Structure 1
């Protein structure tokens, strides 16, 4: 993805004015920054590859608990997000490659899965397509147990393979496809390879 200028970065729909900090991750060696509302577990900006553009975006669209701040203030938080994260302990947990994402399914409870939920919040990414809901029902899960069903199915497919777990594979494929389709902004850059991974196992 080419670097963005501040003028070209638009806020995510419905996610303006949040009290938030700055987090970052790397994808294929490129550092991306993003706003994160820790109280709501909600991602509140697109992925931004240019630190100066991230600071400008935050100054315009985000707040701290004591109010708004200028670009210089946010630039320090952007720089801090490279060195440390409030979401993970190990840098390796926020370093991704497209090849790695295509190679295997994410672990339930992993930082990657957490980011998927945090990016899609508000678009109901956990809503399953009909065939996946039917597969959950055959597996004994209630309609309200979507998260439990997805986690259990993901574990089963990772351990036994899609061919041995057709219903579980249907759930995982349906969940990831639906979640990625509903991601705001440019977050599909990170998550689209997951759909390719599960499609290759279906």
Structure 2
């Protein structure tokens, strides 16, 4: 194991000691691993490209239900995460490109939005621009303070994809405001995946 690469990743603030599995995604043909607490729907590690580093990180900062394990144990789970996932059944759903993220919008209710919600530190009740709440009110949809706000975002995203941002300005305000704030609140290096999406959102008027 490469000791230097295995120790260069800092844990995410407040996300140490979770009972977690190992998941992975591919960005521009490069696989990245990460820890995931399925019981809490929570990302619990940075994106880690080196399998040895992922195994070492998990041994140091994550647990299984029976407690901590050594890197050799975690290396098996890392290898399994290449072809298998407990989050999605289709590998295409966890395969992304920078160009695709920069030029398109995420699928409503899709894996990309799920990962964003699981990774971000955003508090939707207090961390969104005021115009998002006002747009929700004009649309008659649940606002950031409501439990159904995630459904509001999905509905607005579907509408924007179908009709275009210029034709649905209130829906676009909700989508862009929420996604931009959520991406800005990402911990660690999760901007590797979501940074291009933020760039694309910023370019759409």
TM over 0.5: yes
> Which blocks of at least 5 consecutive residues in structure 1 are unaligned?
none
In the alignment of these two chains, the number of paired residues is: 198
The answer as to whether partners of 2:88 and 2:94 remain within 8 angstroms in 1 is yes
- CA apart distance, 1:111: 0.5
- Distance in structure 2 (CA, Å) of the matches to 1:22 and 1:125: 27
The answer as to whether partners of 2:122 and 2:181 remain within 8 angstroms in 1 is no
**Residue of 165, 181, 197 corresponding to 2:184:** 181
- Distance in structure 2 (CA, Å) of the matches to 1:149 and 1:201: 20
TM-score, L = length of structure 2: 0.92
Residue of structure 2 equivalent to 1:53: 53
Residue of structure 2 equivalent to 1:123: 122
The answer as to whether partners of 1:135 and 1:171 remain within 8 angstroms in 2 is yes
Residue of structure 2 equivalent to 1:148: 151
- CA apart distance, 1:141: 2.0
Residues 36-95 of structure 1, C-alpha deviations (whole Å, 9 max, x = no match): 001111000000011000000000000000111000000110010001111111111100
Residue of structure 1 equivalent to 2:194: 191
Following TM superposition, the consecutive aligned residue runs of length 4 or more in structure 1 with deviations greater than 3 angstroms are none
The answer as to whether partners of 1:117 and 1:125 remain within 8 angstroms in 2 is no
CA RMSD between the two structures: 1.4
Residues 122-142 of structure 1, C-alpha deviations (whole Å, 9 max, x = no match): 532574211111111111124
Residue of structure 2 equivalent to 1:160: 163
- CA apart distance, 1:188: 1.1
